[in-house]
Structure 1
C-alpha cells in the first residue's frame, strides 16, 4: 500500500515538474537572437531572446555582441531569415554563428518560449 501511495504522488507531481521554466541564460551561454519582424516577436519568442530584425543585424549586432568570437544562436520562422543574418554576421567576422531554424525548432530543442 505504501508503494502505491508513493507512485500516486509521483505521478501527480510529474506534470508540475515538467512545467517549471528553464533557468535564464547564464553569462557564459550564447545570446539568442530573434531575427523576425517586431510583430512576430510580440506574438511569441524564446525567453531572453534579443530581437534584431534580419535586415538590421549588420548595423545593430555590435551593441549586443561586441566580441566577434562569441557563439551566437539565430532563429526566425523557418530558418531562411536566420540564414541571411548568419551570412551577414560571418561577413562581419563573427565566427561562431548558428542558425537554429524556426521558433518551433527552438521549442523542440528545449528553449523556453514566451
Structure 2
C-alpha cells in the first residue's frame, strides 16, 4: 500500500504537490479560525493576573465531574443566547474550554464577532488533566 502511494506521488508529482499545498492551507485556516490557542501555562498566567476568565462549554454533567477553579459553565449550544452573562467580563480574555477542543474554536470565533477578546485552551480539559493540574468538583 505504501509502495503504491510512493509510486503515485513520484509519477504524479504535480498533483501530489498541489494536494500538499491545499492540505497545508486547509490546516492553517482551520487552526486560525478559533483565534488564539493557549497552553495550560498561559491560561494559568492570565487567570492569576486577573486578565482572563475561563468559560467551560461542556455539558453540566461533564462540568460536574471536574472543572478549572472559578470557571463559568455555559454549554456550547447555549453560549450565544446567554452571552449577556459574559458582558461583565468583556475587559478580560475569555478562555473557552471544552473536552478536547472540538467546540472551543467555534465558540471563540463567535465571541470575537460579538466584540469579546476570546481564546481557547489547546487540547481542552483533557490537556489540563494530562498535566495533572487541579480540578474542582
Query: Which TM-score bucket, shorter chain as reference?
Result: 0.5 to 0.7
Corresponding residue of 1:8: none
1:79 partnered with 2:101: yes
Q: Secondary structure at the match of 1:97?
A: strand
* TM-score normalised per structure 1: 0.65
Q: Offset at 1:33? A: 0.7
Q: Secondary structure at the match of 2:92?
A: coil
Greater share of residues in helix = 2
Corresponding residue of 2:135: 113
Q: Offset at 1:72? A: 0.9
Q: Secondary structure at the match of 1:31?
A: strand
Query: How many angstroms apart in 1 are the aligned matches of 2:85 and 2:73?
Result: 12
Q: Offset at 1:37? A: 0.8
1:98 partnered with 2:116: no
Runs (5+) with no aligned partner, structure 1 = 1-21
Corresponding residue of 1:15: none
Q: Give aligned pairs, total.
A: 90
Q: 1:109 to 1:42 in 2, by over 3 A?
A: same
Corresponding residue of 1:39: 61
Q: Offset at 1:106? A: 2.7
Q: Secondary structure at the match of 1:79?
A: coil
Name the Cα RMSD after superposition. Answer: 2.5
* TM-score normalised per structure 2: 0.55
Q: Secondary structure at the match of 2:82?
A: helix
Runs (5+) with no aligned partner, structure 2 = 1-43
